[in-house]
Structure 1
């Protein structure tokens, strides 16, 4: 399977994702347009976020940092988080358990 063969869905304005769902987790491959905002939210899923291209500003539990290629961020269950694409970005998220709403 090629990532680009997976249908893309715009989940939030400027956030286009391609999703792989397994029994216990979901992988999301995001293409994010510069300036796109991720509103503050939380969910019961544990999450890792890896920036593979570009720069993404993320705030987790009130702490803001800028993430670049090679960065990985751990977001615990129920942690409040938000973000903004400082450039066009490619980001890979892993969610556990499965993000049913992304199916």
Structure 2
């Protein structure tokens, strides 16, 4: 499978994603324009985020951290978090269980 063959969806202004769903996980290949904002939210899914390119400011349960390429973080289920792209970013998100809302 080639990632570029997966249809891209706009999640929010400046945030586009392609998703692969397995039996137990959803894997998101996310592109964020510089200054794109993902507002505070929480979900039942455990999430692992890895920055592939760019710089991402991630706030998890009130703690702000800046992620650079190669860095990753896990976000526990039902934990409030938000993000801001400090530059153009490519990020991989893995969610468990499957994100039915992204199908």
Tell me how large the CA RMSD over aligned residues is: 0.4
Are 1:75 and 2:64 matched, yes or no? no
Task: Give ranges in structure 1 of 5+ residues lacking alignment.
Answer: none
Question: Does the residue aligned with 1:44 lie in a helix, a strand or coil?
Answer: coil
Q: Secondary structure at the match of 2:70?
A: coil
How many residue pairs match? The answer is 103
What is the match of residue 27 of structure 1? 27
Displacement after TM superposition at 1:47 (Å): 0.3
**TM-superposed deviation, 1:13:** 1.3
In structure 2, the residue matched to 1:99 is: 99
**2 CA distance for matches of 1:4 and 1:31?**
12
Match for residue 66 of structure 2? 66
- TM-score norm. by structure 2 comes to 0.99
1:1-45 per-residue CA deviation (whole Å, 9 max, x = no partner) reads 001110100011111000000111100000110010010000000
- CA–CA separation in structure 1 for the residues paired with 2:37 and 2:47: 18
Which consecutive unaligned segments of at least 5 residues does structure 2 have? Answer: none
User: TM-score, normalising length from structure 1?
Assistant: 0.99
Secondary structure of 1:101's match?
helix
Misfit runs of 4+, over 2 Å: none
